C-alpha cells in the first residue's frame, strides 16, 4: 500500500458534510495549513466535527473554517487560543467538548490502537466527568474515557517520501502521528517530498501504511 500523491483540492474532496475531521497541530505549529486552506476554499463540506487541540486563531488555520460557519462541534483541549471560537460556543453557534490535553492525546492514541477505553484520574469528580463511569483504583477516583476516531485526518509532516512515510520536525510532531492512525482516511501534507530511500528508516515516525493521500505544502 502506498499513498496517492495528489493536490490539496483533490485530497479534501474525501471530506463530506457531517464528517468528523482530525486536524494536527498545536496552535498553528505543525498544522496542515495548505490542506485547511483547500478545505476552506475548495470544499463545501459543512456540519463538521473538528478534533483538534484548538480551533486555530482568528482568521488563521481552522479559524477560517469557523468564520464560514461550517463547524458544528469542536473536540479540543484549548479553545481559548481563538477568542472567536469561545464566542461561538457561548452564542450556541457550535458545540464544544472540552478534553484535558493528556486525555485528548491518549483518547486519539486509543482510537488508533483499537483500545475500547481507559481510566484516568484527570477530571474525576468534576463537570468533565458527568455521565461517565467512575472507578476507584488504588484509592484514587478515575473516570472512563472512550477512544476518539475520525472519518478523515489532516496531518502535517516536515518530510515524506513518495510511499507516504512521514517524518516530523521537533514540536511540530505534536498530535500529528497519533491522528494519522485514528481515521478512516489520512491525508498528509508534507513540507518536502523525497524519493523512496531518502528517508532513513529509523527516522520514519508514521509508516506509509497509515497514509492514504500525500500533498505537497504550498
What are the structural domains, with CATH classification, of the chain? 4-216 (3.40.1080.10)
Closest CA to 178 of 86, 116, 111: 111
Give SS3 for 146. Answer: coil
Q: Is the CB of residue 30 less than 8 Å from the CB of residue 173? A: yes
Give SS3 for 28. Answer: coil
Give the predicted TM-score (pTM) of the model.
0.95
pLDDT in tens, the chain (218 residues): 678 999 999 999 999 999 999 999 998 999 999 999 999 999 999 999 999 999 999 999 999 999 999 999 999 998 888 999 999 999 999 999 999 999 999 999 999 999 999 999 999 999 989 999 999 999 999 999 999 999 999 999 999 999 999 999 999 999 999 999 999 999 999 999 999 999 999 999 999 999 999 999 99
The label of the residue with cell 474532496 reads 13
- Between the alpha carbon of residue 111 and those of residues 32, 77, 138, 156, 181, the distances in Å are 21, 17, 26, 19, 8
Amino acid at each position: 500500500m502506498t499513498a496517492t500523491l495528489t493536490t490539496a483540492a483533490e485530497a479534501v474532496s474525501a471530506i463530506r458534510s457531517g464528517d468528523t475531521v482530525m486536524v494536527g497541530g498545536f496552535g498553528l505549529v505543525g498544522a496542515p495549513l495548505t490542506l485547511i486552506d483547500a478545505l476552506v476554499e475548495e470544499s463545501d463540506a459543512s456540519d463538521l466535527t473538528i478534533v483538534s487541540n484548538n480551533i486555530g486563531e482568528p482568521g488563521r488555520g481552522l479559524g477560517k473554517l469557523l468564520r464560514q460557519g461550517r463547524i458544528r462541534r469542536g473536540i479540543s483541549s484549548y479553545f481559548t487560543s481563538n477568542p472567536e471560537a469561545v464566542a461561538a460556543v457561548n452564542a450556541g453557534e457550535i458545540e464544544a467538548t472540552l478534553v484535558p490535553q493528556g486525555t485528548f492525546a491518549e483518547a486519539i492514541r486509543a482510537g488508533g490502537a483499537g483500545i475500547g477505553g481507559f481510566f484516568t484520574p484527570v477530571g474525576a469528580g468534576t463537570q468533565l466527568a458527568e455521565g461517565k463511569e467512575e472507578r476507584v483504583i488504588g484509592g484514587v477516583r478515575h473516570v472512563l474515557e472512550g477512544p476518539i476516531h475520525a472519518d478523515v485526518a489532516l496531518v502535517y509532516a516536515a518530510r515524506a517520501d513518495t510511499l507516504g512515510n512521514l517524518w516530523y520536525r521537533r514540536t511540530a510532531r505534536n498530535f500529528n502521528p497519533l491522528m494519522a492512525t485514528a481515521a478512516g482516511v489520512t491525508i498528509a501534507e508534507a513540507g518536502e517530498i523525497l524519493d523512496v530511500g531518502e528517508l532513513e528508516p529509523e527516522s520514519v515516525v508514521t509508516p506509509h501504511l497509515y497514509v492514504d493521500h500525500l500533498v505537497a505544502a504550498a
